[in-house]
Amino acid sequence: MCGSAARVFLTMTAAGQLASEIVPGLWVGGWRAAQRELNGGVEYDLIVTCRTESECPHTYDCAAPQVRRIAVRDDPLDGPRLLAILQETDVLDDVDRTLAGGVGRVLVHCAMGVQRSAAVAACFLMRHRGHTPLSAVALVRRRRPEAFFCRITFADVLRAFGAACSRSF
């Protein structure tokens, strides 16, 4: 069920759904769910937006003390850029620091909460929770069924990131 049927399914599910908790304190969602939660008073200590400036130009004034942007498009051609950001910045370490002690809340969001944010959450699980690419994807899918719907756009990123993580242990 890819193509137009997938777009209809995702419009009816992911866009209207709230963010999903992947591990304690780490939430993944789409932009509409993020807006609904933030406008409803849900507070996060860190927001990681996986959208380009043109897709999501606003900031979250009162929603979180810290906002990080991973400016990639939902396109496999942006995979090398996503991999470089995750390997060369401290964004995943910021997520880990925020979750330390079990009291922080982190929201990772993209447009629909299906590809980019799910890939970032999976990479976090690999780097900071010892998961393999397969176990990270399985956990994200179990907690957020629409994650990686139809395909894994950034499969090459997950494999490369997982290989780099396994070499560092």
Q: Are 145 and 107 in contact (CB under 8 A)?
A: no
pTM score: 0.87
Every domain of the chain and the residues it spans: 4-168
Residues of the chain with confidence (pLDDT) below 50: 1, 5, 8, 12, 14-16
Residue 73: what pLDDT? 94
Beta strand 26-30 pairing with 106-110? parallel
Q: Say which residues have a Cβ less than 8 Å from residue 58's Cβ, sequence separation at least 6.
A: none
Pick among 2.60.120.10, 2.60.40.3080, 3.90.190.10, 3.20.20.70: CATH of 4-168: 3.90.190.10
DSSP 21-88: EEETTEEEEEHHHHHHHHHTT---SEEEE-S-TTT-----TTT-SEEEE----SSGGGHHHHHHHHHH
**Burial (CB count <10 Å: 0-12, 13-18, 19+), residue 9:** middle
- Report the pLDDT value the prediction gives residue 14, as an integer from 0 to 100: 46
User: pLDDT at position 16, please?
Assistant: 47
The reported pLDDT for the residue numbered 12 is 45
Alpha-carbon torsion, ordered 114, 118, 119, 121, to 10 deg: 170
From the list 140, 68, 141, the residue with the least C-alpha distance to 106 is 68
Count of other CB atoms within 10 angstroms of residue 15: 16
69-94 per-position pLDDT tens digit: 999 999 999 999 999 999 999 999 99
Q: If you search the block for the tokens 């996986």, which residue do you land on?
A: 50
What would the two tokens of residue 80 be?
A: 């090398």
The secondary element (H helix, E strand) that includes residue 123 is: helix 116-129
